[in-house]
Structure 1
Amino acid sequence: MAEHPAYPVGLRLAGRRVVVLGGGQVAQRRLPALIAAGADILLVSPGATPSVEAMADAGEITWARRGYEDGDLADAWYALIATSDPEANTRASAEAERHRVWCVRSDDADRATAWTPATGHSEGVTVAVLTTDARGRDPRHTAAIRDAVVEGLRDGTLVAPHHRTRTPGVWLVGGGPGDPDLITVRGRRLLAEADVVIADRLGPRDLLAELPPHVEVIDAAKIPYGRYMAQEAINNALIEHAGQGKAVVRLKGGDPFVFGRGMEEVQALTEAGIPCTVVPGISSSISVPGAAGIPVTHRGVAHEFTVVSGHVAPDDERSLVDWPALAKLTGTLVVLMGVDKIGKIAETLVAHGRSPDTPVALIQEGTTAAQRRVDATLATVAETVRTEDVKPPAVIVIGEVVRVGPEPAA
Structure 2
Amino acid sequence: MRVARELIVGDPQRLGGYRLAGRLGAGGQGVVYEAYDAVGRRVAVKVLHGDAGSDPELRERFGREAAAARRVASFCTAGVLDADLDGPRPYIVSEYVEGPSLRGAGQIFGGDDLHALATAIAVALTALHDAGVVHRGLTPDKVFLGRDGPGVLGFGLSPGLGTALTATGLRPRAPSYTAPEVFTGGEAGTAADVFAWGGIVLYAASGEDPFAAGSLGAVMHRILSLDPDLSPLPRPLRPLAAAALAKDPRARPTARDLLIALIAAGQAAGQAVPRTDAPGSETVPLLRAGAEVAARVRTACDDPGLGALAESAFAALDPADRERVPAVFLRLVVIDADGQAVAREAGIPAGSEDVLHGFAGLVEHRGDRAYLVHQALPYAWPRLKEWIDANRARLVARERSARLLPPLLAVSAVFALVAAAIAAGRIV
Q: TM-score, normalised by structure 1?
A: 0.26
Higher RCO (C-alpha under 8 Å, 6+ residues apart) = 2
Query: Which structure has the highest strand share of the two?
Result: 1
Query: Which structure has the highest helix share of the two?
Result: 2
